[in-house]
Amino acid sequence: MNVDVRNPEEVKKMIDYTIEKHGRIDILIVNAGVVRVGPVETFPEEDYDLLIDVNLKGTHYTCKYAVPYFKKQKSGSIITLASVAAHIGQVAHANYCSTKAGVLGYTRALALDLAPYNVRVNSVSPGATDTPMLQSDVAKQARDRGISYEDVKKEFEQEGIMGRWATSEEIASGILFLATEESSYITGADLRIDGGWTTQ
Active-site residue numbers?
A: 96
Contacts of 90 (CB under 8 A, 6+ apart): 96, 97
Separation between Cα atoms, residue 82 and residue 75, nearest integer Å? 23
> DSSP code of 182?
G
Kindly state the helix (H) or strand (E) to which residue 77 belongs, with its residue range: strand 76-81
Per the CB < 8 A criterion, the answer to whether 185 and 77 are in contact is no
Helices (H), 83-181: 94-114, 132-145, 149-159, 168-179
